[in-house]
């Protein structure tokens, strides 16, 4: 699926002029030198820095959103989330993106201007770790061009999420390593600290009401690059040593599955691209195409079943989707195909996906329900979901029965 975080990263690229830099910026050179020792990467000679207030940031983001994301792109992303049942019917993607960025922001590293911005509202005790995180981006950017890396062209949205997990996971690992080294320890020699740091990164709490009220998928999409990316980076470092800091940029992971299961990254297990069902709908045209990763399926199943059953997503091999709509843009259909490790795994997901459909639609009239096919009609239109060996396929929202 399309990635909200890509827009969020882009929004931070051109922040307006800010206030005078605080004293903490005097430590940038020292911190960069330490990060260079951690990674074996030569630090940049200088990183420009400044601050910005929350009020100015929100006003800027609201305007910047209009420039970075075209209305049609926002509409396509919003409709995709709704079609998969990952966002409610009244979900406003543009508004929640700006609100979340404003609420969550502590600092930004601007890849184009090579400049770091620190929110002046950041608590003093958290300023140094936040600064270390952003300087880790600056270090990586000086060697691997993060702008090109993050926005690498291609049709794999799941691959884009994996690259974001590399970028944020590495910065989170270096920030955490910097913190524990202040206590005379190292993550490389303290696996219990690795788990503790991962759980700490996942915390949000009631201090972030916009985040807490957001749909599950949006919350998990924002956390994934930091939490799972952190664990992925640690696994790579434990196997490859310091060369792992560079390897993840030179040979990026290609799926969220490789982030969740680093052994698949080492084995170079690439996702499949199961063929989408053909649809006969005169006058319809494609609105959006994308991929659906293990992460997407895990969140979908967790939302409509439970945490235990959502583990079925680990048998994912590949998936893609397309949304088509009529000329009047009054009706849209979701066309979906997924492939699983074997026929048993596909059957398990087929049964679970029926629960997803039952949960995301308010009105459901089932015409046929067998061991390998279910058809019927919802308020969204006609649907058909079926098993084909190790594949699960579906067409949903058509004006006539398929």
Looking at 20-24, 43-47, 141-145, 223-227, which range is the least confident one? Answer: 20-24
Cα-trace Rg, the chain: 22
Closest CA to 4 of 86, 77, 88, 79: 77
- Tens of pLDDT, residue by residue over 69-95, are 788 989 999 999 999 999 999 999 988
Pairing of strands 373-378, 391-398: unpaired
pLDDT > 50? residue 223: yes
Greater confidence, 159 or 123?
A: 159
CB-based burial of residue 166 (10 Å sphere; 0-12 exposed, 13-18 middle, 19+ buried)?
Answer: buried
Handedness of CA 33, 114, 142, 244 (dihedral sign): positive
pLDDT > 80? residue 335: yes
Handedness of CA 353, 358, 359, 360 (dihedral sign): positive
Greater confidence, 38 or 11?
A: 38
CA dihedral 159, 165, 167, 169 (to 10 degrees): -160
pLDDT of residue 125: 52
What are the phi and psi torsion angles at 368 (to 5°)? -150, 135
Greater confidence, 232 or 54?
A: 232
**Average pLDDT score over residue span 117-130:** 71
Question: Residue for token digits 């583990």?
Answer: 311
pLDDT band at 12 (very low <50, low <70, confident <90, very high): very low
Do the Cβ atoms of 197 and 230 come closer than 8 Å?
A: yes
CA dihedral 198, 169, 301, 334 (to 10 degrees): 160
- Tens of pLDDT, residue by residue over 273-294, are 999 999 999 999 999 999 999 9
Cβ neighbours of 44 (radius 10 Å): 16
CA atoms within 13 A on the CB side of 314: 11
Token pair, residue 260, equals 């969740």
Percent of the chain with pLDDT over 90: 69
Looking at 49-58, 227-236, 275-284, which range is the least confident one? Answer: 49-58
Q: Which domains, and CATH codes, for the chain? A: 4-147+156-266 (no CATH), 285-398 (3.40.1000.70)
Q: With a threshold of 0.85, does the pTM exceed it?
A: yes
- Tens of pLDDT, residue by residue over 167-193, are 999 999 999 999 999 989 999 998 888
Percent of the chain with pLDDT over 70: 90
Looking at 127-141, 202-216, 309-323, which range is the least confident one? Answer: 202-216
pLDDT band at 101 (very low <50, low <70, confident <90, very high): confident
- As a whole number of Å, the end-to-end CA separation of the chain is 24
Return the percent helix, strand and coil in the chain, to nearest 5. Answer: 55, 15, 30
What are the CA-CA distances from residue 385 to residues 256, 261, 311, 316, 374 (Å)?
Answer: 25, 29, 21, 17, 5
Chain centroid to Cα 47, Å, comes to: 27
pLDDT of residue 1: 65
pLDDT band at 8 (very low <50, low <70, confident <90, very high): low
């Amino acid at each position: 699926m399309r990635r909200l975080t890509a827009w969020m990263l882009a929004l931070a690229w051109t922040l307006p002029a800010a206030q005078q830099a605080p004293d903490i910026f005097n430590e940038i050179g020292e911190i960069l030198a330490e990060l260079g020792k951690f990674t074996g990467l030569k630090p940049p000679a200088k990183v420009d820095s400044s601050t910005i207030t929350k009020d100015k940031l929100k006003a800027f983001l609201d305007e910047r959103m209009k420039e970075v994301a075209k209305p049609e792109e926002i509409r396509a992303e919003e409709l995709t989330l709704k079609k998969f049942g990952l966002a409610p019917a009244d979900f406003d993607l543009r508004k929640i993106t700006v609100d979340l960025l404003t609420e969550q922001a502590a600092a930004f590293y601007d890849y184009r201007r090579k400049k770091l911005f620190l929110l002046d509202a950041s608590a003093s005790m958290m300023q140094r770790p936040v600064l270390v995180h952003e300087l880790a981006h600056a270090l990586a950017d000086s060697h691997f061009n993060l702008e090109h890396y993050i926005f690498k062209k291609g049709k794999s949205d799941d691959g884009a999420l994996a690259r974001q997990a590399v970028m944020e996971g590495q910065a989170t690992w270096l920030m955490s390593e910097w913190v524990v080294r202040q206590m005379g320890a190292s993550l490389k020699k303290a696996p219990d600290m690795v788990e503790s740091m991962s759980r700490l990164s996942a915390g949000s709490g009631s201090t972030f009401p916009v985040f807490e009220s957001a749909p599950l998928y949006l919350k998990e999409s924002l956390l994934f690059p930091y939490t799972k990316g952190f664990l992925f980076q640690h696994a790579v470092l434990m196997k490859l040593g310091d060369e792992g800091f560079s390897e993840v940029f030179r040979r990026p992971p290609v799926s969220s599955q490789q982030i969740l299961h680093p052994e698949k990254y080492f084995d170079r297990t690439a996702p499949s691209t199961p063929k989408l069902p053909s649809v006969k709908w005169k006058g319809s045209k494609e609105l959006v195409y994308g991929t659906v990763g293990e992460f997407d399926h895990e969140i979908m199943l967790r939302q409509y079943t439970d945490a235990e059953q959502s583990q079925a997503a680990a048998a994912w091999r590949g998936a893609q989707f397309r949304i088509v709509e009529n000329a009047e843009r009054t009706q849209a259909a979701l066309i979906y195909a997924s492939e699983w490790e074997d026929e048993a795994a596909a059957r398990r997901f087929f049964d679970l996906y029926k629960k997803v459909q039952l949960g995301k639609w308010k009105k459901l009239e089932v015409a046929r329900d067998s061991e390998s096919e279910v058809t019927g009609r919802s308020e969204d239109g006609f649907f058909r979901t079926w098993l084909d060996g190790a594949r699960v396929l579906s067409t949903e929202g058509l004006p006539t029965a398929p």
